[in-house]
Amino acid sequence: MANRRLELHRKLCEFLGSSHVYFQPPETVKLSYPCIIYNLDNFDVKRANNKLYLGKDRYAVTIISKDPDYPNVRELLEWELCSFNRFFVSDNLNHWTYEIYY
């Protein structure tokens, strides 16, 4: 599982074009914008004969930017098993949230 998360981390860094990608950052971390914050959100488990057949981790991924017209936020939707959740503004920062199964 950790290897899959690290693979997702690398892909998110490539998508953003920087290393400002944070996995469950503590409050003490000073974020640099634009950035991506993601965390494990859920498990999707399929069972057969009462045994685990297939499982994927679901991550909540948030792109945060000062720019309300931040480019490429829709490109994330081209990723397999990715869906847009919502948009909101907090502390004058724009947040686009997604759910990604990886």
Across 54-80, average pLDDT:
92
Least reliable range by pLDDT among 8-12, 34-38, 69-73, 93-97: 69-73
* Tokens read off for 61: 């991924």
Cα separation, 57 vs 49, in Å, equals 21
Q: Residue 55's pLDDT is what?
A: 79
CATH topology of domain 2-101: STM4215-like (3.30.2000)
> pLDDT class for 1, splitting at 50, 70, 90?
low
* Tokens read off for 12: 């998110």
Domain ranges of the chain: 2-101
Considering the entire predicted model, what is its pTM? Answer: 0.87
Across 11-21, average pLDDT:
96
Q: Residue 31's pLDDT is what?
A: 95
Contacts of 38 (CB under 8 A, 6+ apart): 8, 12, 21, 22, 23, 24, 59, 60, 61, 62, 100
